[in-house]
Structure 1
Amino acid sequence: MVTTDNPTTRGGRPAPRAGSRPVLATLLLASMLTTMAGAIIAPSLPAMEKHFSSVDNAAFLVRLVLTIPALAIAIGAPFVGTLVDRVGRKPVLAFSVGLFGIAGGSGLVLDDLYAILAGRLLLGVSVAGIMTATTTLVTDYYPGESRSRVLGLQAGFMGFGGVAFLSFGGVLADMNWRGPFAIYLVALPLTLLVLRYVTEPPAVAAGRGADGRPAGARMPSLAFGIYALVLASQVMFYTIPSQLPFYLEDIGGIGASGAGLAIALMSLANALVGLNFGRIHKRFGVRPVAVATFTLLALGFAAIGSSSHVALVLVGLVLVGSGIGMLIPNLNTWLASRTPAAIRGRVLSGVTSCLFLGQFLSPVLSQPATGRLGIDGIYLAAAGLGIAVAVVLLLTSAGRKDPADAPADAPGTGPAAPAAAHPAPDAAAQR
């Protein structure tokens, strides 16, 4: 194990070690918050619309309450990524988690629809900060194979968090439309954990110039291809929450609760695959996993769109969830292996931005096409896009090796400091 000097806190206690269990738990819990950005308040929308029925365009504005955080995340992530690199990972994460609790919970007390919308915009900015800072810290703290494992754990925790928070939100919404807003308050005590346990990686400061800007670091050209893959995958994926309830009702008379359970099944597959991503990456590497990801998406959407049998639709949802479970941890692993630590926040923020931009654009692009193609045609078109991406990835990966497939970061592309500057990951994180 690599040994390093262990800094102390102001009270004289040893500072938590990067990669230790408290640090890992804090980052995973913070990552779970991001699943609460929008859909957690979806069950409240009908009652909210009645409450604000006297407001002009209430129906439209209430729906914006659900979707506007995604747009704020997509727009705000690149700016937040720059702050993560210049100001630091820890201050951005601590501020973002605190803002998440305040902005998200504001719906408990605000009685003006426009003020609630303003709170949702701030919520989106906070989610951009949380996603970018937590992912950047994981890639800073964990090199090589441990990185892919922890990124998979992050995806798994986000998947399980989505199932738990969305279910609890529905229960609270039955009591009162403001109820789901209370769940956002869990971020406030988590802010204290961030301040206590998260430490700023020394490699980041070492990579900055005297003016605080990254010194001699350049964005890898691979980044733009990764961004395109994220955007395409989310445009495909979000046809499920936006269209599946209508599709299940058409083919099987399945109501809202049944559609919710079907989507929860997909989320469960997502989480389980994410938890095992470290093993998958260790065996196959980033390029083969990317091909497999889009192949699974294509097969899943083909199963959903080509059959009127609900059972086959459920199989398709499991396949789609399995592909999504590998998608983001794999692409983040790939991109982080090529990105110097000093600009990692800015580069990884592009993944966050494209992730939510795809979610925002998906219904905008798919809804007009349902009139011509039908919902089944939309899913078959998504399958066609998935197989086309898989073929392109397969053709471009033939005979090529990537630093992310190596057991550790390639020289000059991983963490910018020498190995001794990063404490070894906790033994529990390596198992």
Structure 2
Amino acid sequence: MRTPVDDFQPGFAGRRSSVAGRNVTILFLSALTIMAGATISPALPAIEAYFADTPEAAILTRLVLTVPALFIAFCAPFAGLLADRYGRRKVAIVAILLYGVAGVSGVFADSLFTLLAGRALLGVAVAGVMTVATALVGDYFSGPARDRFMGQQAAFIGIGGIFFLTGGGLLAEFNWRAPFLVYAVAFALVPAILAFITDVHRPEALPKQEDRGLISGFFLTIPLAAVLLASVLNSLTFYLMPTQLPFHLKALGTNSPVLVGVAIGACTLASALFSFFYGHVRRRLDVSAVFALGFGFLAGGLALVAAAGSFAAILPASFLVGSGLGLIMPNLGSAAMAIAGEDNRGRVAGLLTASIFLGQFVSPLVSQPIAERTGYAAVFGLGAATLLMAALVALGLAGLRSRRQPA
């Protein structure tokens, strides 16, 4: 049986070292997406204090973390269109260069508004990076191999999140601007892309009538719409952790950026562990059942965060949240790439990226007013209740699918 990578085998691609280099490059590309927000999350309280005289500083500070998500959500479908038409490699190189410049700009920002402008450009860059990373997995892998690599990809993102969160917390102890320097590491990926990434997807080889616009004659089927809705919900509720947990911990008496980084790092550690075994889980459960299990873990973790009265109680709750995320994220990517065709894989990846980050952007806009009225615990409790309903719906769908399958 042919797989996507069998359709195009350049001379160097068959060599084991080049394949390994290609895979590692895709993994590092993926890690940049978590770095976009995780690196500066521990510095948010210090940023709010520094710009305390700015009107609406509380909400604007949270937008420093999430405004990239708005631009990712808007730009990712277009990045997918460009990747389908002109190739993954070109889009990746341009996106990486913009990523480094926009990320480091926070070091020099003299107001919350200039800081937000740099974060907006970072969002444009991440749209290209994440869309290409997802599409490349769809290009090079299929079936169980794709499930395994999606799990490895999500695990690598989680491991990267641990380093970026912990490193961001340590740097934030010195100065809130210091974590922005970490974004310069993106420039090191350009040589790796040039050396190892070759476009398997070749637009010139596709029939001309298949070269459509962004959504014309398109593929927004009910299964894909369900995957996109699940990704919005997952991001909206999960992103309570990086946007509201630092302030919830502060209310509980924990003010250290390092401890905030450790708390969120427990989440990313669990995410990495569970993502690594996603391929094994997927062999035993269908897509809907994995969503039910992942949303159930997320709901339980957020409920424990809501009930926690100390930093020590937050740690196991954060680990449980990460366990759910570790199942949900690779399941989203694997489901979307299974639905996509060769001619629209970049656009499907772009829509998935857009839906993930739309949820991230909306999250503080929804949660902050609730937090101001009812407190942080109520926000986490509401998120848990929402995810529990999603888990029950997914479980019902899994049951229907199993009954329809022949014995």
What range is the shorter-chain TM-score in?
0.7 to 0.9
Corresponding residue of 2:275 = 274
Matches within 5 A, 1:239-388: 239-250=240-251, 253-256=253-256, 257-306=258-307, 308=309, 312-388=313-389
Deviates more, 1:316-325 or 1:163-172: 163-172
**Residue of structure 2 in register with 1:416 after alignment:** none
Partner of 2:81: 82
Distance 1:315 1:121 in 2: 34
The CA distance in 2 between the partners of 1:260 and 1:245, in whole Å, is 9
Closer/same/farther in 2, CA of residues 83 and 22 from structure 1, 3 Å limit: same
Match of 1:255, as an amino acid? N
Aligned-residue offset at 1:186: 1.2
Aligned-pair CA distance for 1:206: 3.5
- In structure 2, the residue matched to 1:104 is 103
Pair 1:35-2:34 in alignment: yes
Deviation readout 1:10-43 (Å, 9 max, x if unpaired): xxxx356698111000000111111121342345
Distance 1:243 1:58 in 2: 16
Asked whether the 8 Å contact 1:16–1:197 carries over to 2, the reply is: no
Distance 1:282 1:162, change over 3 A: same
* Cα deviation, residue 112, structure 1: 7.3
- Structure 1 pair 226–101 and aligned structure 2 pair: CA distance change class (3 A): same
Which amino acid in the other structure matches residue 302 of structure 1? A
**Superposed displacement of residue 288, structure 1:** 1.4
Q: Which residue of 2 aligns with 1:427?
A: none
RMSD over equivalenced CA pairs, Å: 3.2
Among 7, 13, 29, the alignment partner of 2:10 is 7
1:46: how far off?
6.6
CA distance in 1, matches of 2:109, 2:255: 32
The question of whether the paired residues in 1 share the 8 Å contact of 2:45 and 2:247 is answered with no
Aligned counterpart, 1:21: 20
Paired position in structure 2 for 1:412 = none
Q: CA shift at 1:57, angstroms?
A: 5.0
> Which string of whole-angstrom CA distances, capped at 9 and with x for unpartnered residues, describes residues 97-123 of structure 1?
122112222344566765554332221
Aligned partners of 1:17 and 1:23 also within 8 Å: no
**Cα distance change on mapping 1:200 and 1:293 into 2, 3 Å:** same
Verify: 1:231 aligned to 2:235, yes or no: no
Equivalent residue number for residue 419 of structure 1: none
Change (3 A) 1:112 1:240: closer
Name the amino acid aligned to 1:102. Answer: V
Contact 1:16–1:22, Cα closer than 8 Å, also in 2:
no
Deviation at 1:268, TM superposition (A): 0.7
* Alignment partners' CA distance in 2, 1:309 and 1:111: 35
CA distance, structure 1, for counterparts of residue 272 and residue 50 of structure 2: 36
State the TM-score, normalized to the length of structure 1.
0.81
Letter in 2 for 1:78: P
8 Å CA contact 2:42, 2:260 repeated in 1: no
In terms of mean alpha carbon deviation, does 123-132 or 90-99 score higher?
Answer: 90-99
Number of equivalenced pairs: 396
CA distance in 2, matches of 1:399, 1:52: 53
Stretch moving more, 233-242 or 35-44: 35-44
* CA-CA distance at 1:333 after TM superposition: 0.9
In structure 1, runs of 5+ residues without a counterpart are 9-13, 406-431
Residue identity (%): 39
Contact 1:97–1:130 (Cα < 8 Å) also in 2: yes
Q: 1:401 to 1:173 in 2, by over 3 A?
A: same
Q: Do residues 220 (structure 1) and 226 (structure 2) align? A: no
Give the stretch that moved more between structures: 44-53 or 30-39: 44-53
Deviations 1:282-304 (A, max 9, x none): 22232211111111122222333
| Residues 307, 183 of structure 1: alpha-carbon distance in 2 compared, 3 angstrom cutoff | closer
- In the alignment, the residues of structure 2 paired with residue 181 and residue 310 of structure 1 have an alpha-carbon distance, to the nearest angstrom, of 27
| CA–CA separation in structure 2 for the residues paired with 1:39 and 1:202 | 31
Alpha-carbon separation, structure 2, partners of 1:63 and 1:200: 38
Alpha-carbon offset, residue 188 of structure 1: 1.1
Task: Out of 112-121 and 187-196, give the one that drifted further.
Answer: 112-121
Residue 220 of structure 1 contacts residue 339 of structure 1 at CA under 8 Å; is this kept in 2?
A: no
| Partner-residue secondary structure (3-state), 1:188 | helix
* CA distance, structure 2, for counterparts of residue 49 and residue 397 of structure 1: 44
1:209 counterpart residue number: 208
- Distance in 2 of aligned mates of 1:111 and 1:208: 51
Relative to structure 2, which stretch is displaced further, 42-51 or 72-81?
42-51
- The residue type equivalent to 2:35 in the other structure is M
**For residue 354 of structure 1, what is the amino acid of its counterpart?**
S
Larger Rg: 1
The answer on whether the counterparts of 2:106 and 2:115 sit within 8 Å (CA) in structure 1 is yes
Task: Indicate the SS of the match to 1:398.
Answer: helix
Aligned residue in 2 for 1:182? 181
Question: d(CA) in 2 for partners of 1:373 and 1:49?
Answer: 21
